Amino acid sequence: MKFAVALLITAFAALTVWGQAPTLHVVTEIPNLPSDLYYGTTKVKPLRLRPGTNTPITINDSDFFVNQQYVDFLSRFPDQSGFDFWVNQITSCNGDANCIAGQRDNTSGAFFLSIEFQETGYLAERMYKVAYGDGNGTSTFGGSHQIPVPIITRSDFLPDTLQLSNGVIIGQPDAQTRLEANKVAFANDFVSRPRFTAAFATGLTPAQFVDALFLNAGVTPSSTDRNDAINEFGGAANTADTAARGRAVRRVAENSILTNSEKNKAFVLMQYIGYLRRDPNAGQDTDYTGYDFWLQKLNNHGGDFHAAQMVRSFIVSGEYLNRF
């Protein structure tokens, strides 16, 4: 879905800093998606108009809100059938404010829980967990303490997710073929990076390698799951085979126990990465107190984001709304 956008730029006074005026520049974070315009260090917000009218489009409009879910969670513009479905979920409320708020929450949650995100962005998060374990974060929620936090950062997440999701639109005929090819290519690339090769010597035996991955994941595997991952090396004495390494890491990252246990952590993380476009300890946050608060609240409600009021709190926050 594309919208007509008119850049509304105020006539700036002659402002000079050390003899040089600020300049307009475009920042493109993800190719083929909307860019941001800055005047010096100040973000210039666009005035979005409906084609052929002077009617502004805002994040409160159902079509623009749905469009942003695709951009923020899937890093792509919507396909028409998916777009129409989610817009209809909201507009079917016929103006009922409580219904609209609930459907916006449902729509947001559905994008995180979608197959497309679970098999791309969430898989990337789990690959980092399997390879490097958790990071250490400081929280002051309930008293200053250290908490485990996702090791993946937004600067890691964006390019890796784009690699996994390249050309994938779930529901289209070639989606699963493209997705599998992307996963294979990503896994091979992931285990070839200097960070990974520094963490896992090729002289490790397959059993040592796989046990280390499950330890990082925090999972005690069944004997079948452990043996399946070890057998990716085909009886080799070491773990020098890049393709086998990639397959073993994928097996552990796709383990059902890990997928379930990590889900709430990833859900909270995506509120920051997707909606606020930053890491949980960046921007107006200096530590992981906010992340810790929302994770505990989500856990206390059994993962029910409605009861925890997590999604709603993020999409009505000033930080989110001020993006538009």
Q: What distance in Å separates the CA atoms of residue 230 and residue 76, rounded to the nearest whole number? A: 36
Of the pLDDT bands very low, low, confident and very high (cuts 50, 70, 90), residue 48 is: confident
DSSP label at residue 79: P
H helix runs in the chain, sequence order? 62-69, 80-91, 97-113, 115-118, 121-132, 154-165, 175-190, 194-199, 206-217, 223-230, 242-253, 256-261, 263-270, 289-300, 305-308, 310-315, 318-321
Mean pLDDT computed over 111-132: 97
Q: What is the pLDDT of residues 12-33, one digit of tens each?
A: 433 444 556 678 777 777 777 7
Mean pLDDT computed over 132-153: 96
**Domain spans in the chain, listed from the N-terminal domain onward:** 1-57, 58-190+262-324
Of the pLDDT bands very low, low, confident and very high (cuts 50, 70, 90), residue 267 is: very high
Mean pLDDT computed over 309-321: 95
pLDDT of residue 16: 44
User: Is residue 155 pLDDT above 90, yes or no?
Assistant: yes
Q: Among 45-54, 66-75, 109-118, 183-192, whose mean pLDDT is lowest?
A: 45-54
Q: What percent of the chain has pLDDT over 90?
A: 82
Question: Greater confidence, 182 or 27?
Answer: 182
CA-based torsion, 105, 110, 116, 121: positive or negative: positive
pLDDT of residue 36: 74
In the block, which residue shows the tokens 């890691």? 156
pLDDT of residue 45: 78
Summary mean pLDDT of the chain? 91
User: Is residue 11 pLDDT above 50, yes or no?
Assistant: no
Q: Among 48-52, 208-212, 295-299, whose mean pLDDT is lowest?
A: 48-52
Q: Among 10-14, 69-73, 289-293, whose mean pLDDT is lowest?
A: 10-14
pLDDT of residue 29: 78
Question: Greater confidence, 298 or 40?
Answer: 298
Distance of CA 239 to the CA centre of its chain: 30
Hey, what are 98's tokens?
Answer: 């409580």
Which amino acid, residue 93?
C
pLDDT of residue 42: 80
